[in-house]
Amino acid sequence: MIACWRKGGACSKDKFLSLLFPAPVSYTRCIVDTPTETPAARQVANAYAEEFVPQMQPAQQSWPAQAFGPDNPPWGVTAALLVWLASVGLLFIVPTLAGAAYIITRINRVPADKLKEAILADPHFILISVAAVIPAHLLTFWLVWWLVTGNGRRSFRDITGWRWSRRLGPLEAFACVGIVGLLFLMNGIIAHYFHGGETDLEKIISSSLAARYTVVVLATLSAPLVEEAVYRGVLYPALQRALGALWAVLIVSALFASVHVYQYRDNFGVIAAITMLSLALTLVRAVTGRLLPCVIVHFLFNSASSLSILHDASVPQMPAPTGLLLSALGRIAGLHF
């Protein structure tokens, strides 16, 4: 502006304003941007940034190694044992509550000194107690689903191994049929050498046709799914990871057989058959690493046994179940629910 005044010349408006208000200096660009515009500066900046990248990569790459599966469950032994205890408790609590509700309706109709005898011989009481196993199974399976899937956040199929063999595919069912046939053959040998009294199951199926059919439905449809989900789906993988396959097979087989001892306490042959079935199912789980083959074997075994019960219902005058080989094997092997 002074120069314009000294020269006496005219000074344009834009030049006059630029002299009054000079453009601000970008200190940020001088400090940050300018040094990195050179190749040497960019090399230093990249080397500085690479110091942090390797520390983040292992955390990102560790997810596949930590993926959950049939032999690496997202729960531990404590959670598995709690689910098992809950399954046993539900089988006791739910039928007891249902039976108690029926007793209340009958308590004023039967003398007090004959109430217990009348209730235990009442086919309606027996049917209600057996049918109450259905909601107990539903609650148990919901608990298993909640644990396995994390309340729907994980895949039940992937965690439990609910799939066919990659090599055999659906043909794996034929291998399961062979295992069931071997089990029935061994049960026939047990039936030849061991004899026992009438079991609680036989008392139930002889109480009424409705109770008989209810037992068949339970043994064929719900028991294979629910029991395998608890014992081979939840218990086994947790124990296998903590103790190894051998101890897991022994413990799961023993727990499965133990919950059936009281029901078949008067027949050692049935208890031996149940123990053999439990061991076979757990070995199938250990060898295949999947739950689906266990469910198939359990389903086929119980279905064959159910045929014996249905046959007995159609021939009520048959003096003994040993009249037919299938009926004998089914009765000796027993059903479990």
In tens, the pLDDT along 91-104 reads: 999 999 998 888 88
How is 108-172 classified by DSSP, letter by letter?
Answer: TTS-GGGHHHHHHT-HHHHHHHHHTHHHHHHHHHHHHHHHHHTTTTS-HHHHHT-S-BTTTBTTH
CA–CA distances in Å: residue 333 to residues 100, 111, 319? 31, 39, 19
275: number of Cβ within 10 Å: 17
* pLDDT of amino acid 274: 92
Residue with tokens 């040993």: 322
Q: Which amino acid is at 153?
A: R
Q: Are 234 and 167 in contact (CB under 8 A)?
A: no
SS3 call for 255: helix
- pLDDT category of residue 325 using cuts at 50, 70 and 90: very low
* pLDDT of amino acid 317: 39
Among the residue ranges 211-215, 249-253, 281-285, 321-325, the one predicted with the least confidence is 321-325
Please say if the pLDDT value at position 118 is more than 80: no
In tens, the pLDDT along 225-246 reads: 999 999 999 999 999 999 999 9
Residue 6 CA from chain centroid, whole number: 96
321 token code pair: 């179940």
Q: What is the mean pLDDT of residues 86-92?
A: 95
Phi, psi of 72 (to 5 degrees): -140, 70
User: Mean pLDDT across the chain, nearest whole number?
Assistant: 79
Residue with tokens 């942090």: 52
Q: Is the pTM of this model over 0.75?
A: no
Q: Are 173 and 303 in contact (CB under 8 A)?
A: no
Reported as type and span, the H/E element at residue 91 is helix 77-106
CA–CA distances in Å: residue 134 to residues 192, 239, 247, 325? 34, 28, 31, 30
In tens, the pLDDT along 160-215 reads: 999 998 888 889 999 999 999 999 999 888 888 887 778 888 888 888 899 999 99
Please say if the pLDDT value at position 5 is more than 80: no
* pLDDT of amino acid 310: 83
The winner for highest mean pLDDT among 35-49, 172-186, 322-336 is 172-186
Query: In this predicted model, which residue has the larger pLDDT, 257 or 65?
Result: 257
Please say if the pLDDT value at position 33 is more than 70: no
- pLDDT category of residue 22 using cuts at 50, 70 and 90: low
The winner for highest mean pLDDT among 18-27, 45-54, 124-133 is 124-133
* pLDDT of amino acid 337: 38
* pLDDT of amino acid 287: 95
Cα(163)–Cα(6) distance, integer angstroms: 96
Q: HSE (CB half, 13 Å, CA atoms) of 241?
A: 18
In tens, the pLDDT along 137-162 reads: 999 999 999 999 999 999 999 999 99
Cα(280)–Cα(45) distance, integer angstroms: 64
152: number of Cβ within 10 Å: 9
Domain ranges in the chain? 77-151+161-333
Residue with tokens 């217990």: 116
Cα(49)–Cα(53) distance, integer angstroms: 7
Residue with tokens 């453009």: 23
